[in-house]
Amino acid sequence: MRTASRIRLAILVGLLAITVLWALHDIYSRRARTEWERPVSVAVALVQLGPVDQSALDALRARFPALEARFASEYHRYGRGQLARPVTFTVYGPVNVDRSAPDDPDASIPSLAQHAYDLWRWTRAVDEGSALPARDFDSRIYLVVRAPRDRGRQWVEGSSELGGRVGVARVELDVSAVDLALFVVSHEFLHTLGASDKYDVTGRALIPDGLVEPDRIPRFPQRYAEVMARNLVLAPGDERPPESIAELGVGIATAREIGWAPQAPATPQGR
């Protein structure tokens, strides 16, 4: 009896040790992404919710090299020169599904746990359907696309775990919304690297953190849309969605969060 108990204890201790080692490895590998010693690899899984214009899907695929180039331009603007392409995107799918990713949970522990499980099941099914090797990538963004329901209206939203590995973006996609979809993908991807939102509860860009060029004279209109603020600021209270990924920019606050710029010096405490 004692021998059996010792065996069970040894097994439990072994499983605990494996779990702790895996967790430490995962934490280290997540942090390593923002050291930029190698390109950060991003898988983008296209998830099709109903019929979508094939020409829009083709145009979306064709624009990812331009998005890589835009990230490279911003990376080099901060003096980071060791990587020609700091971010690489690999597109999988589309996978046809009958339901979108699970909705965001409330703040309760049971809801968070249920959401984590439901999201894991959903992403695993998408990975299997698109032959996406999840372990091969630093981050994975699941882009759920559907046809626009109203002409002249473009619906986008997303959610990602801050500093995690998985993000979900939802877009009503036609040819005119391709670059907006790429902007949303970029927003959710940077969340996985630890970047925070740069807009307020009304959706307006925070000033100055929601600006790419806060020191520009005159300050407005801005030339670029801060990727974590979503919109391009034309004047205080006057914003519009970006029209092209050429307008995508990374402001200094976001650059610090993802390791492209050093942290701001601490403000001395008054006596």
User: DSSP per residue over 163-200, as a string?
Assistant: TSSEEEEEEE--GGGHHHHHHHHHHHHHHHTTPPP-B-
Runs of H (alpha helix) within 85-172 = 109-130
Do residues 185 and 63 touch, judged by C-beta distance below 8 A? no
159 vs 165: CA distance, rounded Å = 12
248 vs 71: CA distance, rounded Å = 9
Predicted confidence band of residue 93 (pLDDT cuts 50, 70, 90): very high
Predicted confidence band of residue 144 (pLDDT cuts 50, 70, 90): very high
Average pLDDT over all residues of the chain? 88
Predicted confidence (pLDDT) per residue in 79-92, tens digit? 977 899 999 999 99
As a whole number of Å, the CA-based R_g of the chain is 21
pLDDT of residue 17: 41
DSSP class of 39: P
Predicted confidence (pLDDT) per residue in 155-204, tens digit? 677 887 789 999 999 999 999 999 999 999 999 999 999 999 999 999 99
241 vs 229: CA distance, rounded Å = 10
Do residues 229 and 210 touch, judged by C-beta distance below 8 A? yes
Rounded (to 5) percent helix, strand, coil in the chain: 40, 20, 40
Q: Which residue would you say has higher pLDDT here, 39 or 271? A: 39
110 vs 159: CA distance, rounded Å = 19
Predicted confidence (pLDDT) per residue in 23-50, tens digit? 333 444 557 899 999 999 999 999 999 9
Q: Is 42 in a helix, a strand, or coil? A: strand
* Side chain identity, residue 236: P
Tokens standing for 238?
């006057």
40 vs 90: CA distance, rounded Å = 11
Angle between helix 54-62 and 178-192 (nearest 10)? 50
Predicted confidence band of residue 69 (pLDDT cuts 50, 70, 90): very high
Tokens standing for 167?
């993000």
Among residues of the chain, what percentage have pLDDT more than 70?
85
Cα separation of the two ends of the chain: 67
Instruction: Report whether pLDDT(14) > 90.
Output: no
Predicted confidence band of residue 151 (pLDDT cuts 50, 70, 90): low
Cross-strand partners of 184: none
* Side chain identity, residue 52: V
Q: Which residue would you say has higher pLDDT here, 230 or 229? A: 229
